[in-house]
Amino acid sequence: MPAHAFICPNRSQVPIEDCLKQCQQPMRCMFLPTLRSIAASLNRNLEGASVTELISGTRETYLKKMTNYTVDPQTVLYALHGSAVHTLHEQHTAGNMLSEIRLKDAVTSGKFDLYGQILDADEGVLGDLKVTSSYKIMKALGRYKVDVPTGQYYVSGKKKGQMKYSKEWRDDGVRGVGDWSIQLNYYRILLEQQGLAVNRMVIQALCRDSSLRMAAERGIDQAVYLIPIRRIRDEWILRYMQKKAENLKTALAERRLPSRCSSKERWHDRKCKDYCQVAEHCPYGKVLKITASEVKQERPPA
Ligand code: SF4
Ligand code: SF4
């Protein structure tokens, strides 16, 4: 039971098929092709579970497969950015490379973006395209700011006599690439199962907000970054994904709601409040959403 209805700007719900046939309001809230693309991006694979579905919280994936959920088209447009970038690349992959092939094993299936000679002479590069925020790129690069003493002192004011510091960027912090790393490593395993050697894994991250001041404040001054992904031991990845696949399979067979997504999977509640499409069907998400809307109502006008 995938997403079945769109939410119109006036909050009424309309079955997706009906919306695509004929808008139920005086005028469409966006172009018809845009709505068609959104509808296509929502088509869920109800049989088995893909690598990306297994990486998400088990409860979220379970609810997406078991409930008729509604989607506000305005809130899922970001998914089209990624699809658009994939489509652009698909048209230009002639040469010594493969792209967008779905591979399967006994646990799951996954469609890698690019594989082959995509960066240099190395024919075994697995590439993945991401369209993401400057915040996520900053974290993925392990970039952080430090105070560096300038050797100069304040000569007046409250700080008189104190050392002056300047901010400098460092790139040697902990790299926040957890889910990306699991995803690419699983695609690597799927390729290797087909006898294709993967020598390197690289993410090409396109920054959504690269021209904004916020991105510059995060030390992100390029539109595109290449982020290398390290190899994780096959045993660890396979054990992790097998466990998640088993948990989901059992929950679906028993029609039992899995325990709530982990704190990391639910982005420390941010996803439940604003981004989870099935939050309305999740007891935890529902409570968080009600509490968030009550806090908003109680807040005095600015
Ligand atoms: S086009 Fe927009 S306003 Fe019209 S029915 Fe669809 S979702 Fe509602
Ligand atoms: S609302 Fe939160 S806990 Fe519930 S399914 Fe969504 S992400 Fe998971």
Q: Express each pLDDT in 79-105 by its tens digit.
A: 788 888 888 887 888 889 999 999 999
Q: Is the pLDDT of residue 255 over 90?
A: yes
* Residue 212 to residues 76, 174, 208, 216, 227, Cα–Cα distance (Å): 21, 25, 9, 7, 21
Report residue 47's pLDDT band, with 50, 70 and 90 as the boundaries: confident
222, 211 in Cβ contact below 8 A?
A: no
Q: What is the mean pLDDT of residues 118-129?
A: 96
Q: Is the pLDDT of residue 40 over 90?
A: no
Q: Is the pLDDT of residue 48 over 90?
A: no
What is the pLDDT, as a whole number, of residue 296?
66
Report residue 5's pLDDT band, with 50, 70 and 90 as the boundaries: very high
Q: Record the tokens describing residue 69, joined without a space.
A: 């959920």
**Centroid of ligand 1 to alpha carbon of 76 (angstroms):** 14
**Centroid of ligand 1 to alpha carbon of 12 (angstroms):** 9
Q: What are phi and psi of 90, to 5 degrees?
A: -55, -35
Exposure string (b/e) for 47-69, b if CB count within 10 Å is 16 or more? eebbbebbbbbbbbbbbbbbbeb
Antiparallel, parallel or unpaired: β 224-229 and 144-153: unpaired
Percentage of the residues of the chain whose pLDDT score is greater than 90: 79
Summary mean pLDDT of the chain: 92
What is the pLDDT, as a whole number, of residue 279?
95
Q: Record the tokens describing residue 54, joined without a space.
A: 């297994």
Task: Give start and end residues of each alpha helix (H) in the chain.
Answer: 16-21, 32-42, 51-55, 58-66, 77-90, 134-141, 178-193, 213-217, 234-254, 270, 283-298
Spatial separation of the C-alpha atoms in residues 247 and 119, rounded to whole Å: 38
Query: Does residue 61's CB lie within 6 angstroms of at least one atom of ligand 2?
Result: no
Atom from ligand 1 closest to the CA of residue 22: 5
301 vs 149 pLDDT, higher one: 149
Q: Is 107 strand, coil or helix? A: coil
Spatial separation of the C-alpha atoms in residues 110 and 49, rounded to whole Å: 9
Q: Which of 99, 132, 131 is nearest to 114 (CA)?
A: 99
Atom from ligand 2 closest to the CA of residue 60: 5
What is the pLDDT, as a whole number, of residue 294?
74
What is the pLDDT, as a whole number, of residue 270?
93
Q: 224 forms bridges with which residues in the sheet?
A: 206
Note the pTM of the prediction, 2 decimals.
0.88
Q: What is the mean pLDDT of residues 48-63?
A: 94
Q: What are phi and psi of 218, to 5 degrees?
A: -95, 10
**Centroid of ligand 1 to alpha carbon of 47 (angstroms):** 29
Our mutation pick for probing the ligand 2 site, out of 55, 56, 59, counting the most ligand atoms within 8 A of Cβ, is 59
Report residue 63's pLDDT band, with 50, 70 and 90 as the boundaries: very high
Q: Is the pLDDT of residue 228 over 80?
A: yes
Q: Is the pLDDT of residue 1 over 60?
A: no
Report residue 300's pLDDT band, with 50, 70 and 90 as the boundaries: low
